[in-house]
Amino acid sequence: MSAIPVSPGAENWELPYRGKVAMLSLITGECAIFTIFVVGYIFYLGKDISGPTPAQVLDIPVFNTICLLSSSVTIWLSERQIERGRIRAFAALWALTLALGIEFLIGTALEWKKLIWVDGLTIRTNLFGTTFYSLVGLHATHVVIGAVGLLLVLIFTLTGHINESHTERIQTFALYWHFVDAVWVVVFTVVYIVGR
């Protein structure tokens, strides 16, 4: 089949971009998964039979949080750059986003290292360990997936495969990253503020 003939009366027939619809659907599903884990966390707050408790071992990860949340800003700025076709600025902001995401993962790794080796808290220690590692771990998994995506796009950009015609796709991916950041706000509030 060669050219598809365009029927008359089609002038102002515009439908939403399928990628964004799909990503928003995926995010809706992910929200349900996170809701279950957050409910599990809240349900078991303070029901531990043995220690350690959140108040004893958790430090508020302020720097980590600032990094992750500002990565939402940098990715938003990079979206604006690609829209205007400024690929170099886009690549720089995109790389910065990736760096902030990786910093967050390093921060989480250090936190877990301290919890495991110093405080002796593992997933099988008590309910707090069970719910903490699964909720924070679920979020960290999403950051890892996002970081892999960021890295791939960065490689494509540096090898000259990305231009402004990819704006919508870039924005679609950015939706996922914004979602990962938004979930962190919830996780942060539940785990480090309410739960502590």
Determine, following the binding rule CB under 8 A, whether residue 168 of this chain makes contact with other proteins.
no
| Cα separation, 124 vs 131, whole angstroms | 10
Question: Does 29 participate in binding other proteins (rule CB under 8 A)?
Answer: yes
Q: Is residue 159 near other proteins by the rule CB under 8 A?
A: no
Alpha carbons 124 and 59: distance in angstroms, whole number: 21
**Which own/partner pairs from 19-27 qualify as long-range (CB within 8 Å, at least 24 positions apart)?**
19/168, 19/169, 19/172, 20/168, 20/171, 20/172, 20/175, 22/172, 23/172, 23/173, 23/175, 23/176, 24/175, 26/176, 27/175, 27/176, 27/179
Instruction: Tell which positions 57-116 bind other proteins, by CB under 8 A.
Output: none
- Binding status of residue 31 toward other proteins by CB under 8 A: yes
DSSP class of residue 194? I
Q: Which range of residues in 15-23, 66-74, 109-117, 183-191 is near other proteins by CB under 8 A?
A: 15-23
The first and second tokens of residue 13, run together, are 């027939």
CA proximity to 74, closest of 62, 89, 87: 89
Instruction: Select 38 or 68, whichever has its Cβ closest to other proteins.
Output: 38
Complex with other proteins: residue 127 or 154, whichever CB lies closer: 127
Contact 64, 139 (CB under 8 A): no
With CB under 8 A as the contact rule, which of the stretches 82-90, 106-114, 124-132, 142-150 interacts with other proteins?
A: 124-132
Stretch that binds other proteins, among 26-34, 60-68, 85-93, 163-171 (CB under 8 A): 26-34
User: Which of 29, 160 has the CB closer to other proteins?
Assistant: 29
Instruction: Give me the residues that bind other proteins (CB under 8 A), please.
Output: 1, 4-10, 13, 15-19, 21-22, 25-26, 28-33, 35-37, 40, 43-44, 47-49, 123-124, 126-127, 129-131, 134
